[in-house]
Structure 1
Amino acid sequence: MVGTSNKVLKPTRQEDDKFAKKSGVLLEKLDNKILEINQLKAAATKETPEPESTTKDEFNSDGEEMEPSEAIDWDDKISVLQNVDPNAFRQYELACDRVKLFYIEQHEKQTVAYNIQARINFKTKTRAKMSVWEGLEKLNKLLDDSDPDTELSQIDHALQTAEAIRRDKKPRWFQLVGLIHDLGKLLYFFDSQGQWDVVGDTFPVGCKFLKKIIFAETFKKNSDFFNPLYNTKYGIYYKNCGLDKVMLSWGHDEYMYHVAKRNSKLPPEALAMIRYHSFYPWHKENAYQYLMNEDDKKMLSAVRAFNKYDLYSKSDDQPLLDVKELKGYYLDLIDEYFPTKIIEF
């Protein structure tokens, strides 16, 4: 009599890759179905549906080719911030309890299931209609619990970032990114569940949480941590799939990226700066290289160039700015790249 074996057969690498590619297709189909539902709802109420941009960032929401970005030497020396000490920032081991408690909660609750639901909510709901500047003024009431480097108001940080970029004579679209890169934090006033799904460093969900993520040890409370579908190197993705196919933890970066992609004429580099500026494991720690495609490699230099302005402009040595004095300049800049003026957030 032949005995039966209790040995569990593990899937092969080929089977893992097949599953990952199938999962990516399913997520893409889900995204398309949500768009179809939105269009049907709009037609039923005799509204004109907001057209979705193509999968390539080279086209805006109207299907028109976006303005080509100017050639920039991303590695040029930053003049206005050259004396800032890089080691003075992101000192999380010295951070107050408020910052540490924030990341414990974020790492527990940012699951695949939550991220899918958050994207469904984004595509099926308009939270507010306002101008970009009105959004900045509303945002001024938020204190970011995840940031150990500054307690400046949001509009002060936005203007300091933009003005540092402007003083270095970078393109106008680059200056605008400095102004609006954190505008997605408006989520906090709409339908967020706290700050954990609005602010903080971002990271992929649906694959193994890497040690390069800040406070990585706290992911053990995340229900995906022990899920065999998600806790491998590639998880639901596959080698060099491209970051556009990866779900980054939902928050202000992802939210504002989609808003800007839909409503602006900003070039691909600008959209990458907005989407990835909090993805520190990638642009600072060189993690997740195996998920990148060739386009991601081009965008990485742009994101790193922007990050210096975003981070170092928080220095106490930076001058206080007069919001009223600068408002006219930035209103013109906003109108140049957000021609509809009133944006659906």
Structure 2
Amino acid sequence: MNHKISKPTPTPTPTSQSTSSSDSKLLDRLDDDILKVNQLRGSFKTSPSHSIETELHLESTSETIADENWQIASEYYKNIDTKAFRQYELACDRVRQFYEEQHEKQTVAYNIQARINFKTKTRAKMTVWEGLERLNKLLDDSDPDTELSQIDHALQTAEAIRRDGKPRWFQLVGLIHDLGKLLYFFDSKGQWDVVGDTFPVGCKFSKRIIFPDSFKKNPDFVNPLYNTKYGIYSKHCGLDKVMLSWGHDEYMYHVAKKNSVLPAEALAMIRYHSFYPWHQELAYSYLMDDHDKEMLKAVKAFNTYDLYSKSDQQYNVEELKPYYLELIDEFFPNKIIDF
């Protein structure tokens, strides 16, 4: 695999003037500043492929409330041995070394720079299916449960959701939830800023994160601005105001939010599916607001399929392709997506 890693970009250093109350709006200020830059560049000029009407349609549809029937638990996984998955204590050296690097390098400064890079440029233009085919070249170093290709896992997840008669938007999430791993071929410094469990930066690292001791090498671990319970955030500020470690979840969440008509539950599934300390260990509950409580139900419903569908079974990609191409077109109005 040819993977060219670009030279690191200098990252901004937080000032000593930061406080818990003012920095809770860090992401909002960052988005505003980047929006101004893009407007000056003319990157938000409308075009036939992305009109004002399309923007309004995406915004209104993404707020719809999904049919609650999708929350019914799957009968298929009720008797599954859950302890057979996520066996990190028995994980190979590849997985351990991955998390040691990720926990050391996912800092506030890096996350700010990563979001600036994301907001100010387009890495590729292609269809969702083309993205899935390109992603097929990646083996996830953080996953102890499968050695199969990314498209195999995507189809396993989507087909399990489809088998249980869940809504079409839910099936599509199964197909594209890991599509953000395309970052590995674009801006990544390796895999540590693409895959793996996610966690908040800018506040104390929870002991419920996998391999928590490896955070001691992270510069933020001893930074008084970031190593307290709330850090730069405030009580029940809402996870939408929290900066999660940069990777494929965050990346695909922003791509889908901008380009799809998926409901809020689907977007939450994409953004938080690797946030295991939260949706499995109930860490960081003190940052949640009421909206997060509802989204947690959606993420937990999706996690059953994401995790327990992993097996040695492989589907015939060409046979399933027509069905999923139609599904993609239903929720992504513009076929060519800016990645």
- TM-score (ref. length: structure 2): 0.90
Alignment counterpart, residue 281 of structure 1, candidates 277, 280, 288: 277
Separation in structure 1 between the aligned mates of residue 219 and residue 57 of structure 2, nearest angstrom? 36
Alignment counterpart, residue 337 of structure 1, candidates 307, 331, 336: 331
Give the C-alpha shift of residue 312 in structure 1: 0.2
Paired residues of 2:225 and 2:231 also in contact (CA < 8 A): yes
More deviation, 39-48/95-104: 39-48
- Structure 1 match to 2:297: 301
Change in Cα spacing, 1:74 to 1:49, as seen in structure 2 (3 Å) is closer
Give the C-alpha shift of residue 43 in structure 1: 6.1
Change in Cα spacing, 1:179 to 1:326, as seen in structure 2 (3 Å) is same
Paired residues of 1:110 and 1:222 also in contact (CA < 8 A): yes
Paired residues of 2:58 and 2:259 also in contact (CA < 8 A): no
**Per-residue CA distance 1:171-221 (angstroms, 9 max, x = gap):** 000000000000000000011000000000000000000100000000000
Separation in structure 1 between the aligned mates of residue 294 and residue 51 of structure 2, nearest angstrom? 27
Alignment counterpart, residue 237 of structure 2, candidates 235, 241, 260: 241
Separation in structure 2 between the aligned mates of residue 225 and residue 138 of structure 1, nearest angstrom? 36
Tell me, what secondary structure is at the counterpart of 1:274?
helix
Matched, 1:196 2:192: yes
Separation in structure 1 between the aligned mates of residue 51 and residue 116 of structure 2, nearest angstrom? 16
Matches within 5 A, 1:41-190: 41-42=41-42, 63-66=59-62, 68-73=64-69, 76-190=72-186
Change in Cα spacing, 1:44 to 1:259, as seen in structure 2 (3 Å) is closer
Alignment counterpart, residue 261 of structure 1, candidates 257, 260, 263: 257
Matched, 1:311 2:307: yes
Paired residues of 2:135 and 2:181 also in contact (CA < 8 A): yes
Paired residues of 1:60 and 1:66 also in contact (CA < 8 A): no
Instruction: List alignment gaps of at least 5 residues for structure 1.
Output: 1-17, 53-58
Instruction: List alignment gaps of at least 5 residues for structure 2.
Output: 1-17
- Structure 1 match to 2:15: none
Paired residues of 2:66 and 2:265 also in contact (CA < 8 A): no
More deviation, 319-328/214-223: 319-328
Change in Cα spacing, 1:38 to 1:20, as seen in structure 2 (3 Å) is same
Change in Cα spacing, 1:219 to 1:162, as seen in structure 2 (3 Å) is same
More deviation, 155-164/73-82: 73-82
Change in Cα spacing, 1:64 to 1:136, as seen in structure 2 (3 Å) is same
Give the C-alpha shift of residue 295 in structure 1: 0.1
**Per-residue CA distance 1:258-280 (angstroms, 9 max, x = gap):** 00000000000000000000000
Matched, 1:292 2:288: yes
The number of aligned residues is 320
Separation in structure 2 between the aligned mates of residue 215 and residue 308 of structure 1, nearest angstrom? 23
Paired residues of 1:207 and 1:233 also in contact (CA < 8 A): yes
Give the C-alpha shift of residue 71 in structure 1: 2.4
Paired residues of 1:60 and 1:264 also in contact (CA < 8 A): no
Separation in structure 1 between the aligned mates of residue 226 and residue 309 of structure 2, nearest angstrom? 37
- Structure 1 match to 2:36: 36
Paired residues of 1:51 and 1:61 also in contact (CA < 8 A): no
Separation in structure 2 between the aligned mates of residue 43 and residue 100 of structure 1, nearest angstrom? 41
Change in Cα spacing, 1:296 to 1:47, as seen in structure 2 (3 Å) is same
Change in Cα spacing, 1:32 to 1:87, as seen in structure 2 (3 Å) is same
Separation in structure 2 between the aligned mates of residue 298 and residue 336 of structure 1, nearest angstrom? 25
Separation in structure 1 between the aligned mates of residue 271 and residue 141 of structure 2, nearest angstrom? 20
Give the C-alpha shift of residue 85 in structure 1: 1.2
- TM-score (ref. length: structure 1): 0.88
**Per-residue CA distance 1:290-315 (angstroms, 9 max, x = gap):** 00000000000100000000000113
Change in Cα spacing, 1:76 to 1:43, as seen in structure 2 (3 Å) is closer
Change in Cα spacing, 1:124 to 1:43, as seen in structure 2 (3 Å) is closer
Give the C-alpha shift of residue 29 in structure 1: 1.4
Change in Cα spacing, 1:332 to 1:65, as seen in structure 2 (3 Å) is closer
RMSD between superposed Cα atoms in Å: 2.2
Quick one: higher RCO (CA 8 Å, sep 6+), 1 or 2? 2
Change in Cα spacing, 1:62 to 1:306, as seen in structure 2 (3 Å) is closer
Separation in structure 2 between the aligned mates of residue 236 and residue 191 of structure 1, nearest angstrom? 26
Paired residues of 1:127 and 1:344 also in contact (CA < 8 A): yes
Give the C-alpha shift of residue 257 in structure 1: 0.1
